[in-house]
Amino acid sequence: MNEGGEARRERGVKRAEPAVSRPVQAARYWWQRLLHNLPQKFLALLLAFLLWFVATEDRRANIQQNYDVALDVRDTTGGNEKRAVSGLNPASVRVTLSGSRQRLGAINASDIEAYIDVTDLPDGEFSRTVRVVGPDGTHSLKVVPTVAQGRIDAELSRTQPVRLSVGNPPSDSVPRYILSPSQVTVSGTSQLVNTVERVVTVPVTLSQGEQVETRLLALGAQGEVVNVRLSPASITVARIDAGTLPIRSVPVKLSTPPGDLVITSSNIEPATVRLIGPADALAKISSVTAPLAYRPGSFSAQPSFSLPDGVRALDRVTVQVTVQPK
């Protein structure tokens, strides 16, 4: 009887459930949320991806774009002699790149390398294939032209004085200038350096006490610009004269011909000349004499005047005369 009663009591007692932790409950909750309407969620994600793919197709599509790129020359030839290239033709090439619209839109011509390599080529004329290196994310499709020509020569350097070129020189003073430095180094191929006749400043106009920095030009015999390197490429020009000087205009007279010759006609242009200098020296000058080396016949000359110290002529006089024997 006792055993039966105990069994009934055990059946009547409810067994306790094991406790479930909070993290497990949270994981079960989110897992159920994830699985809820899973086919519909997957379809929505697929549609969103397709819409993004279609909307960005234009940005991902490859396009072509042209760039005008300066041509560079590379020369790693060893040895003691320096070399230089002249007459490079062309100086720039047109490069066609392929890439995404976004990538090509962020590229400038300076980001592209276009060069020829003349390493170990002998001195003289050359013709080399142009090579192109585009930025990452692009592909070089075409370069025009594909070949460049030029000439390799030994590099020459020499020192040359600088000549000042003054624009609109003042007419009421005797300006004086200081150039710093007064000499520059001309470098380039021997063929080009040997054609440089003079190095000049670009025209400058300065007031008293003013100074400016001005660039330089290398000129050939006919006044053409020669493409060489100048070091430095610019100099400082300073005007150092103290002040103005008075000007006086006086007539021009011809010197007396020899006794056996006579002047039959003459023309002096201009008939008066402007003199500049100290006031006391100008006050003593009433005219200037044009010295001529007379001879029978007609001739013209641009005489130089004999003037006191500190006085100079601002005008260049041309004389035309006809001379006959007496």
Q: What is the mean pLDDT of residues 251-262?
A: 91
What's the average model confidence in pLDDT over 68-97?
88
Instruction: Find the mean pLDDT for residues 249-257.
Output: 93
Instruction: Express each pLDDT in 20-32 by its tens digit.
Output: 577 777 777 777 7
Does one domain contain both 91 and 141? yes
The answer to whether residues 171 and 197 belong to one domain is yes
17 has pLDDT over 60: no
Task: Please indicate, yes or no, if residue 280 is contained in any of the structural domains.
Answer: yes
Residue 39 is assigned to a structural domain of this protein: no
Flag whether the pTM goes above 0.75.
no
Contact 133, 111 (CB under 8 A): no
More confident residue, 274 or 52: 274
Give the three-state DSSP class for 34: helix
Kindly state whether residues 291 and 308 are assigned to the same domain: yes
End position of a domain, from candidates 125, 154, 183: 154
The CATH number of residue 86's host domain is 2.170.120.30
Q: Is 225 among the domain residues?
A: yes
305 in Cβ contact with 313 (< 8 Å)? yes
Q: Does 82 lie in the same domain as 66?
A: yes
pLDDT tens per residue, range 308-320: 887 888 889 999 9
Residues 210 and 173 in one domain: yes
Rounded Cα distance between 85 and 213, Å, is 30
**C-alpha torsion sign, points 6, 9, 11, 13:** negative
Residue 174 lies in a domain: yes
pLDDT (average), residues 212-226: 93
Tokens linked to 202: 């670009």
Residue 272 in any domain: the answer is yes
Domain total of the chain: 3
pLDDT at site 1: 47
Weakest mean pLDDT among 4-13, 16-25, 99-108, 183-192: 4-13
Last residue of a domain, one of 122, 154, 186: 154
Q: Which pLDDT value is given to residue 53?
A: 67
Q: Which two tokens stand for residue 142?
A: 């075409």
Identify the domain containing residue 149 by its residue range.
Answer: 62-154
Asked whether the predicted pLDDT for residue 164 surpasses 80, the reply is yes
Same domain? For 105 and 125 the reply is: yes
194 and 119 in a common domain: no
**Residue 97 covered by a domain:** yes
Residues 77 and 150 in one domain: yes
Q: What is the pLDDT of residues 117-157, one digit of tens each?
A: 999 888 889 999 999 998 988 888 899 999 999 998 888 89
Answer whether residue 15 is part of any domain: no
212: tokens are 């400016």
pLDDT score of 242 = 65
CATH number at residue 260: 2.170.120.40
**Boundary-marking domain end, from 127, 154, 181:** 154
pLDDT in tens, 257-294: 998 989 999 999 999 999 988 888 888 999 999 999 99
